[in-house]
Copies of this chain bind each other. A is one copy, B any other.
Amino acid sequence: MATLKDVAKLACVDVSTVSRALNNTSYVHPETKKKIYAAVERLSYKPNLIAKSLRQGKRNAIGVVVPGINFSIFSEIVQGIELEARKLGYSIMICNTNDNPDSEEECLNRFRNGLVDGIIIASTGQNMRLLRDISASGIAVVQMVRKQDKEFSSVVADYDACGYEGVKYLYAKGCRHIGFINGPMDIIPYKERYRGYHRAMKECGCEEMVTESTQHLGDYFQDGYAGVAKLLEKDPELDAIIVAADLQGLGVIRALKERKIKIPDEIKVMSLTGHSIGSMMETTMTSMEMPAKEMGVRLTGMIVEHIDADADHQPNRQHVVFDASLVERETT
């Protein structure tokens, strides 16, 4: 690979001149520029971004830490992140944690050490101390989906409202026995969805029925499937099931079908975290749709703001809450 030095030699000027010419960072004689461009062309010179990073103390990279990118809302958020990041001149580095705190720690440790300028994370919540350390060391941190710590800016959806509106909607449809298959409650969004569900159920004078998923992201389908049995046991008059995630919804529909229970006539189903899959199902699923891509775009905008602000020592924490919108489909 040709370096600046090679270009300089070929163009018979100093490396500094070449650098200035290529970055338009100071006066360079047009003639000289021409020579330099010619040399660049001839050697097909490409600046070494690593060297540039080292010197400028800036990586132009964003670390993204997610529980898992396949078949979940994160997949779409990451798309948004990537899109916007590219637009703003950043690369993204992705790390999957499977919601395992150790994996997460490993990811984060990898990212600090000057690999990235900022980290966008959907954290397990078990490494907040490390995150603060990282933040203190000058790496921007913003939280996605899960606002574990007020310290760091965040982009989330209004999960509480999702749970609340979900119940109210089903209640308005005539349901009185509304079960809820939730995710692991030690993860904030699930806790909040429950809160909304709980409040609404109370207001409606209904008795709540909740089952909780295990930690494992990949078992959501199975958890939804198994949840149906549990809910029916708790209340045979069950007439609606709310699930936290689309994949659980698939499991629920599957289980109901096997029991020959009619959707939506006998039991209605809705998801609180809708993304594209809901509209593509055989029986399309009513859900609270999250503007996932927009959230990703916003996250990137936010982290870049923080990165730039850090340089000027102007922190400006902010917490953005996106509204989900209820989309009515066949399951209700």
Residues of A within 8 A of B (CB): 1, 44, 46-51, 53-54, 59, 61, 68-71, 75-76, 78-79, 82-83, 86, 91-96, 106, 109-110, 112-115, 133, 137-138, 221, 247, 250-251, 253-254, 257, 276-277, 280-283
Contacts and interface: CB of A to CB of B under 8 A. Distances in A.
Contacts of A68: 79
A332 to B, nearest CB: 16
Task: Classify the secondary structure of A's interface with B.
Answer: helix
A269 B82 CA distance: 35
B50 A54 contact: yes
Contact of A82 (B76, B92, B95, B137): B95
A140 to B, nearest CB: 14
A106 B93 CA distance: 16
Contact of A113 (B47, B94, B95, B251): B47
Contacts of A93: 61, 91-94
Oligomer copy total? 2
7 contacts: A47-B113, A71-B277, A78-B94, A93-B93, A254-B280, A254-B281, A281-B282
B49 A115 contact: yes
Contacts of A91: 93, 95, 110, 115
Given A48-B113, A94-B92, A282-B257, A69 B71 contact: no
A195 to B, nearest CB: 28
A115 B69 contact: no
Contacts of A44: 133
Interface centre among A79, A94, A96, A247 (most CB of B within 10 A): A94
A106 B91 CA distance: 11
A280 B94 CA distance: 27
A47 B110 CA distance: 10
A96 B69 contact: no
A115 B90 CA distance: 12
A106 B86 contact: yes
Contacts of A61: 93
A50 B46 contact: no
A282 B283 contact: yes
Contacts of A75: 69-71, 75
Contacts of A138: 1
B281 A115 contact: no
Given A46-B113, A282-B253, A69 B59 contact: no
Nearest to A256: B282
A75 B91 CA distance: 18
Nearest to A106: B86
A38 B85 CA distance: 39
A52 to B, nearest CB: 9
Contacts of A83: 96
A184 to B, nearest CB: 20
A96 B92 CA distance: 11
B94 A94 contact: yes
8 pairs of A and B residues whose beta carbons are closest in the complex: A70-B75, A282-B282, A250-B280, A48-B114, A49-B113, A50-B114, A46-B113, A221-B280
